[in-house]
Amino acid sequence: MLGAEADSRAPGAAVTVALCGQWEHEGRCRWPHNNRIDVSEPPAVLRTVAVVDDESVAEVLRRAESALRADPRWQVLGVRLVQLTVAEQALADRLAGDHTNACDASGFPCEPG
């Protein structure tokens, strides 16, 4: 549940910092990803699409969940891995092929450079 005072971009930014160390950085992301939050009806739903090898899935999920649970501006109701939608798969494919852009914490899809 996103607190009334919370910026809706903040949860995605928290995930980006957990995965990359900061919002913007030089070079390729270790785990290219995109965060999108839907606040159209409560509770807000954050979906993160990340390009992750099989050995890193648990670490990426742990980092993202820890960052989200550590912030008092919202309450995490659950974290789970889900099947990508067709649009998310296309986004993941673009992220996997983009070796130059910094991670996008804006909540909008990354566009290839």
Q: Structure tokens of 42?
A: 């409560």
Mean pLDDT of all residues in 11-30? 87
Which residues partner with 37 through β-bridges? 46
Q: Is the pLDDT of residue 60 over 90?
A: yes
Mean pLDDT of all residues in 32-42? 94
Residue 70: phi, psi to the nearest 5? -80, -15
pLDDT of residue 73: 95
Q: Structure tokens of 104?
A: 């996008």
pLDDT of residue 28: 80
Question: What does the mean pLDDT of the chain come to?
Answer: 85
Closest CA to 54 of 20, 81, 76: 81
Mean pLDDT of all residues in 70-86? 94
